[in-house]
């Protein structure tokens, strides 16, 4: 058998090997083939990462051997030698998963340096300052990333050195200063680790690769994966690449650039660079970089070469590129390229522009926008009228668009806790680091004092679609004292702040936000999505207002109207309670009579908002505990309304107590016990439809949906009540009206007996919230308490209530679709559980052949795009 290859030189790989080499590795191989000046190197594959974990977190000896062999070949390619005393080869070691996960995993630069190699570098470059600067950076990074020694300890030594030499910037330290610092760093390392800093480059290399593999499973990477649907089993590749130096002096530099503006999508080069610096200086946002336009003035020859390569890369990848480059002694190198992360606005503009520039077809362009990103466009901006009357107190960089308002949180941990307690917070930091990820997710917006447009906060916020203002040097933030000084005022964690990520403006007050509309590029793009998709998109809406909003967002009808949600209102809850605690049919009918006109009005409102679009209205499905009165005053009032003593009523409430309300007297079980409830709801639905048809001329065809059916006879019993009542109403009104009766499939037994059920049901709608609950056997209400342990222990990677479990729940859905069609060939199939708005789940529904998905109004555009993407990926 041929030996499996775990390490590939860039010159051996190609663009199609993304799964094996990771995105970065495949692109480096591809760029090498394209003849772009790329420092050479090799990629250790994702399979090696998976093997590392399979072997109990150990790199197999055969892979180590292969790494050393490839290193020899790299030495030949570069004419340098790893660990040489005269001409040392230095490398960077970076992670590179199949999709980019900015800042989530680890990077080590300048690897290969030791006390001898640094002297050789000093001689070779005639620049001892540069050599020792590289060395001190390497020791700090290696210690931090590979050996877990706190970075802060090294930074303190650096600060002390600057202070003792009376200088302000790192660049003002001399070679001798840096040499002294290296000595101090090594002493610190030995103190912390109890051993000498490893001087053998081969040891350094294997340790560094191990650390990158290990970082695939660090907590922030796990959170990022969950957020972005990246499976743990993909693993990360590791790229080992010859170092080129941007910190060799004033003819060297380094930068990052996007081929188009990642915030707006404008087709103009966008980027930043710093002369005499290494990449980390640009990304960390410690020194403020120059805009890329400056390079044209500073070095027109390099700028032209740079732009030619940028254009070549964009044409080649047919997408906006995010590139890292370094100039070493006046020679330009590209260190990497990838499809750039961008805001939702930018994504839409770029996708539409690429079609207009004839680089992409509409089908391909549809795939360029992440459906989840659209969410950010549907969320609030500041109310324009109000904005005319308020003044910003400061301005930072508009790093990620949108508007956010909340109370100030100075730490990520606090932001997370306050968010969980229902508070809206804005995370205010000097700068963010990858450890802050959970707080950044929890925050409405992010505001930083330091850092540019490509700082960590900016990149991550744009990726998440969270509003961010970065680099606002006017703020004085004291993270320890938890205070923020701004325009002469001191704000604390109890104060509101509002930030505008589109302008960079900051307001020291709470500002209203408004919901935007779908126009411009967004509308063009969504029209293309609608032309392409075959899966319809409906909405879950219980009020005319929500229905209207959803229609504006492109909903093609209502897939679920939860009638019990109409009863939460203050003026209705009393009548509902009366209905629930009624001792006999008479009492119940009395309460239902109060509810009938309210329900009828609700349905009229909903039909009118939908115009001719279909509406699926579900019969009452209240977990009773949500409606029973607990407040003493409420109980007294209810007893008096019903002519009961308080004791009597308390007795009834007691008797209605359920141990497991989610599996209790709910859904169609209620209608089986109390058919008069189904009668009232049928009457309201049909009467409202007749009224709207007569008054407004809309052709309303109500779809009456019976919930929580597990047995055909249950459905038949309730359906008979519906049919009889509808007939009666139509006779009373002297009008014929078309309507449908169907059911939810949300109990495993219903899925398994779907051929039976379909005899009575004209449509199925998968209630995957309950179906997930009952398939897994854990409660929707309680699972949150232990799911975190499941993520920690890698039992689950995803919340099955958010992302459909295609293996288990999906198998039941497939059975139900197939069986249902055997008895009713044209049965209409939909989904209305929360999964109906999750892109991966939408794709699954498309492949099952469902007719529609239904989701909350704000997720309608997300589902429309996900459905179009499913169609492009898998035509049906
Ligand atoms: C479901 O169970 O998926 C559903 C949509 O119904 P509810 O969430 O109201 O139980
Ligand atoms: Mg349900």
The residue among 442 and 518 whose pLDDT is bigger is: 442
pLDDT tens, 683-740?
999 999 999 999 999 999 999 999 999 999 999 999 999 999 999 999 999 999 999 9
Q: For the chain, how big is the Rg over CA atoms in Å?
A: 32
pLDDT tens, 589-610?
999 999 999 999 999 999 999 9
Cα–ligand 1 centroid distance for 746 (angstroms): 8
Same domain, 501 and 554: no
Atom from ligand 1 closest to the CA of residue 769? 3
For residue 385, give the CATH number of its domain: 3.50.30.10
For 621-645, give one letter per residue: b (16+ CB within 10 A) or e. Answer: bbbbeebbbeeeeebeebbeebebe
Average pLDDT for 565-589? 84
Closest CA to 500 of 421, 423, 390: 390
Average pLDDT for 774-778? 95
In this prediction the pTM is 0.81
What local confidence, expressed as pLDDT, does residue 1 receive? Answer: 62
CA 451 remoteness from chain centre: 23
H or E segment to which residue 659 belongs: none
End-to-end alpha carbon distance in the chain: 41
For residue 275, give the CATH number of its domain: 3.30.470.20
Has 770 been labeled as part of a binding site?
yes
What local confidence, expressed as pLDDT, does residue 811 receive? Answer: 98
Same domain, 328 and 405: no
CB atoms within 10 A of CB 545: 13
Residues contacting ligand 1 via CB (< 6 Å): 560, 562, 621, 746, 767-770, 832-833
Report if residue 487 sits inside a domain: yes
Same domain, 417 and 497: yes
With 70 as the cut, is the pLDDT of residue 569 above it? no
Cα(271)–Cα(257) distance, rounded to whole angstroms?
4
* Ligand 1 pocket, mutate which of 770, 801, 813, 838 (most atoms under 8 A from CB): 770
Domain boundary among 339, 361, 394: 339
Cα–ligand 2 centroid distance for 771 (angstroms): 8
> Which amino acid residue places its CA nearest to atom 10 of ligand 1?
770
Report if residue 210 sits inside a domain: no
Cα(277)–Cα(612) distance, rounded to whole angstroms?
63
Same domain, 581 and 439: no
Domain boundary among 339, 356, 371: 339
> Which amino acid residue places its CA nearest to atom 8 of ligand 1?
769
- pLDDT band of 30, cuts 50, 70, 90: very high
Strands 41-44 and 483-486: unpaired
Give the ligand with the smallest distance to the CA of 540.
1
Give the ligand with the smallest distance to the CA of 856.
1
Cα(336)–Cα(28) distance, rounded to whole angstroms?
6
Two tokens at 827? 């049965």
Is 814:745 a contact under the CB 8 Å cutoff?
Answer: no
Cα–ligand 2 centroid distance for 666 (angstroms): 10
pLDDT tens, 814-872?
999 999 999 999 999 999 998 999 999 999 999 999 999 999 888 899 999 999 999 99
> Which amino acid residue places its CA nearest to atom 1 of ligand 1?
767
With 90 as the cut, is the pLDDT of residue 413 above it? yes
What local confidence, expressed as pLDDT, does residue 115 receive? Answer: 95
Atom from ligand 1 closest to the CA of residue 765? 5
SS3 (DSSP) at 816: helix
Report if residue 192 sits inside a domain: no
Strands 615-618 and 703-706: parallel
With 70 as the cut, is the pLDDT of residue 570 above it? no
Cα(779)–Cα(796) distance, rounded to whole angstroms?
16
SS3 (DSSP) at 69: helix
Same domain, 589 and 700: yes
With 90 as the cut, is the pLDDT of residue 433 above it? no
Question: Kindly report the CA angle at 232 between 870 and 151, in degrees rounded to 5?
Answer: 125
Domain boundary among 480, 514, 548: 514
The residue among 22 and 657 whose pLDDT is bigger is: 22
Report if residue 97 sits inside a domain: no
Cα(678)–Cα(704) distance, rounded to whole angstroms?
10
Atom from ligand 1 closest to the CA of residue 768? 3
With 80 as the cut, is the pLDDT of residue 515 above it? no
- pLDDT band of 792, cuts 50, 70, 90: confident
What local confidence, expressed as pLDDT, does residue 131 receive? Answer: 92
With 80 as the cut, is the pLDDT of residue 876 above it? no
What local confidence, expressed as pLDDT, does residue 641 receive? Answer: 84
Residues annotated catalytic, as ranges? 456, 832
Has 376 been labeled as part of a binding site?
no
Tell me the average pLDDT of the chain: 92
Atom from ligand 1 closest to the CA of residue 770? 2
- pLDDT band of 465, cuts 50, 70, 90: low
What local confidence, expressed as pLDDT, does residue 853 receive? Answer: 98
Has 769 been labeled as part of a binding site?
yes
Strand ordering across the sheet containing 445-448: 394-395, 505-507, 496-500, 403-409, 425-429, 445-448, 467-470, 397-400
pLDDT tens, 340-395?
999 888 999 999 999 999 999 999 999 999 998 897 788 678 887 788 889 999 99
Residue 825 neighbours by CB under 8 Å, 6+ apart: none
Cα–ligand 2 centroid distance for 680 (angstroms): 21
Q: What are phi and psi of 531, to 5 degrees?
A: -65, -35
Q: What are phi and psi of 657, to 5 degrees?
A: -60, 135
- pLDDT band of 802, cuts 50, 70, 90: confident
pLDDT tens, 317-347?
999 999 999 999 999 999 999 999 998 889 9
What local confidence, expressed as pLDDT, does residue 614 receive? Answer: 96
What local confidence, expressed as pLDDT, does residue 169 receive? Answer: 82
The residue among 155 and 281 whose pLDDT is bigger is: 155
Tell me the HSE value of 826 on the side-chain side, using a 13 A CA sphere.
0
What local confidence, expressed as pLDDT, does residue 409 receive? Answer: 97
Same domain, 500 and 559: no
The residue among 375 and 209 whose pLDDT is bigger is: 209
Report if residue 555 sits inside a domain: yes
Q: How far is CA 693 from CA 125, 611, 689, in A?
A: 86, 10, 6
Same domain, 792 and 762: yes
Cα–ligand 2 centroid distance for 283 (angstroms): 47
What local confidence, expressed as pLDDT, does residue 307 receive? Answer: 97
What local confidence, expressed as pLDDT, does residue 20 receive? Answer: 97
Cα–ligand 2 centroid distance for 855 (angstroms): 14
> Which amino acid residue places its CA nearest to atom 4 of ligand 1?
767
Atom from ligand 1 closest to the CA of residue 621? 9
Has 746 been labeled as part of a binding site?
yes
Domain of 415 in residue numbering reads as 380-514
Give the ligand with the smallest distance to the CA of 618.
1
Number of domains in the chain: 3
Same domain, 541 and 508: no
Atom from ligand 1 closest to the CA of residue 832? 5
Has 133 been labeled as part of a binding site?
no
Cα–ligand 1 centroid distance for 772 (angstroms): 10
The residue among 622 and 828 whose pLDDT is bigger is: 828
Report if residue 34 sits inside a domain: no
What local confidence, expressed as pLDDT, does residue 691 receive? Answer: 97
Same domain, 734 and 821: yes
CB atoms within 10 A of CB 452: 23
Give the ligand with the smallest distance to the CA of 565.
1
Cα(427)–Cα(442) distance, rounded to whole angstroms?
9
Report if residue 432 sits inside a domain: yes
Atom from ligand 1 closest to the CA of residue 833? 3
Is 482:410 a contact under the CB 8 Å cutoff?
Answer: yes
Cα–ligand 2 centroid distance for 622 (angstroms): 9
Axis-axis angle for helices 520-532, 860-873 (nearest 10): 50
Same domain, 431 and 469: yes
Give the ligand with the smallest distance to the CA of 834.
1
pLDDT tens, 529-547?
999 999 999 999 988 888 9
Has 768 been labeled as part of a binding site?
yes
Q: What is the 3-state secondary structure (H, E, C) of 113-147?
A: CCHHHHHHHHHHHCCHHHHHHHHHHHHHHHHHHHC
> Which amino acid residue places its CA nearest to atom 3 of ligand 1?
767
Same domain, 311 and 443: no
For residue 740, give the CATH number of its domain: 3.20.20.60
With 90 as the cut, is the pLDDT of residue 451 above it? no
Same domain, 425 and 307: no
With 80 as the cut, is the pLDDT of residue 452 above it? no
* Ligand 1 pocket, mutate which of 621, 668, 766 (most atoms under 8 A from CB): 621
Report if residue 559 sits inside a domain: yes
């Amino acid at each position: 058998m041929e030996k499996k290859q775990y390490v590939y030189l860039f010159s051996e790989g190609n663009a199609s090997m993304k799964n094996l080499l990771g995105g970065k590795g495949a692109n480096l191989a591809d760029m090498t083939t394209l003849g772009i000046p790329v420092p050479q190197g090799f990629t250790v594959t994702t399979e090696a990462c998976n093997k590392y974990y399979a072997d109990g977190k150990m790199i197999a000896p055969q892979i180590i051997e292969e790494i050393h062999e490839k290193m020899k070949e790299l030495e030949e390619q570069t004419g340098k030698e790893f660990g040489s005393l005269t001409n040392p080869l230095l490398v960077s070691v970076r992670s590179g998963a199949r999709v980019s996960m900015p800042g989530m995993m680890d990077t080590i630069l300048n690897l290969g340096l030791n006390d001898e190699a640094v002297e050789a570098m000093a001689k070779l470059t005639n620049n001892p300052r540069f050599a020792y600067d590289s060395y001190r950076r390497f020791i700090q990074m290696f210690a931090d990333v590979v050996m877990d020694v706190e970075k802060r300890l090294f930074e303190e030594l650096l600060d002390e050195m600057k202070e003792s030499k009376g200088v302000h910037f790192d660049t003002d330290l001399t070679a001798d200063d840096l040499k002294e610092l290296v000595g101090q760093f090594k002493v610190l390392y030995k103190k912390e680790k109890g051993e000498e800093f490893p001087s053998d480059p081969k040891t350094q290399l294997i340790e560094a690769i191990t650390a990158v593999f290990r970082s695939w499973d660090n907590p922030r990477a796990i959170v990022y994966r969950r957020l972005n649907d990246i499976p743990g089993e993909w693993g990360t590749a590791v790229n080992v690449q010859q170092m080129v130096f941007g910190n060799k002096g004033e003819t060297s530099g380094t930068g990052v650039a996007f081929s188009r503006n990642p915030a707006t999508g404008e087709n103009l080069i966008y980027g930043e660079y710093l002369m005499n610096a290494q990449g980390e200086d640009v990304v960390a946002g410690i020194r403020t970089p120059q805009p890329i336009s400056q390079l044209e003035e500073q070095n027109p020859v390099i700028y032209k070469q740079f732009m030619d390569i940028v254009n070549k890369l964009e044409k080649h990848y047919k997408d906006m590129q995010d590139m890292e480059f370094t100039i070493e002694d006046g020679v330009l190198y590209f260190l990497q390229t990838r499809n750039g992360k961008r805001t939702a606005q930018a994504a839409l503009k770029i996708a539409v522009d690429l079609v207009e520039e004839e680089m992409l077809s509409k089908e391909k362009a549809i795939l360029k926008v992440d459906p989840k990103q659209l969410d950010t466009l549907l969320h609030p901006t500041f109310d324009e009228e109000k904005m005319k009357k308020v003044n910003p107190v400061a301005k930072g960089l508009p790093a990620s668009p949108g508007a956010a308002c909340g109370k100030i949180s100075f730490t990520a941990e606090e932001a997370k806790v306050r968010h969980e307690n229902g508070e809206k917070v804005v995370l205010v930091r000097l700068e963010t680091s990858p450890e802050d990820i959970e707080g950044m997710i929890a925050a409405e917006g992010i505001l930083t004092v330091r850092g540019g447009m490509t700082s960590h906060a900016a990149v991550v916020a744009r990726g998440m679609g969270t509003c961010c203002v970065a680099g606002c040097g006017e703020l004085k933030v004291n993270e320890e004292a938890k205070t923020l000084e701004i325009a002469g005022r001191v704000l604390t964690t109890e104060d509101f702040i509002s930030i505008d990520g589109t302008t960079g403006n900051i307001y020291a007050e709470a500002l209203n936000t408004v919901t935007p509309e779908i126009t411009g590029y967004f509308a063009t793009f969504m029209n293309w999505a609608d032309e392409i998709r075959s899966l319809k998109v409906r909405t879950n809406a219980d009020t005319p207002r929500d229905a209207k909003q959803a229609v504006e967002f492109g909903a093609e009808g209502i897939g679920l109207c939860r009638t019990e949600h109409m009863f939460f209102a203050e003026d209705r809850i009393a009548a509902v309670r009366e209905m629930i605690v009624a001792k006999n049919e008479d009492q119940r009918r009395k309460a239902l009579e109060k509810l009938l006109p309210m329900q009828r009005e609700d349905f009229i409102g909903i039909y009118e908002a939908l115009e001719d679009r279909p509406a699926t209205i579900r019969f009452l499905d209240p977990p009773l505990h949500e409606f029973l009165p607990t407040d003493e005053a409420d109980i007294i009032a209810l007893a008096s309304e019903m002519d009961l003593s308080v004791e009597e009523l308390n007795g009834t409430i007691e008797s209605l107590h359920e141990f497991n309300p989610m599996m209790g007297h709910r859904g169609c079980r209620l209608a089986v016990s109390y058919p008069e409830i189904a009668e009232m709801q049928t009457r309201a639905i049909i009467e409202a439809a007749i009224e709207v048809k007569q008054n407004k001329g809309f052709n309303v065809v109500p779809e009456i949906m019976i919930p929580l059916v597990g047995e055909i006879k249950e459905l038949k019993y309730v359906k008979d009540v519906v049919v009889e009542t509808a007939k009666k109403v139509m006779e009373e009104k002297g009008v014929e009206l078309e309507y449908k009766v169907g059911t939810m499939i949300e109990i495993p037994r219903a899925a398994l007996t779907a051929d039976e059920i379909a005899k009575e049901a004209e449509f199925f709608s998968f209630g995957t919230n309950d179906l997930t609950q009952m398939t897994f056997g854990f409660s929707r209400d309680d699972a949150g308490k232990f799911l975190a342990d499941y993520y920690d222990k890698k039992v689950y990677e995803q919340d099955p209530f958010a992302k459909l479990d295609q293996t288990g729940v999906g198998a039941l859905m497939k059975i139900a679709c197939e069986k249902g069609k055997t008895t009713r060939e044209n049965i209409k199939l939909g989904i209305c559980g929360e999964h109906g708005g999750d892109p991966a789940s939408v794709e699954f529904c498309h492949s099952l052949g469902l007719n529609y998905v239904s989701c909350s109004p704000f997720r309608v555009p997300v589902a429309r795009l996900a459905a179009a993407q499913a169609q492009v990926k898998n035509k049906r």
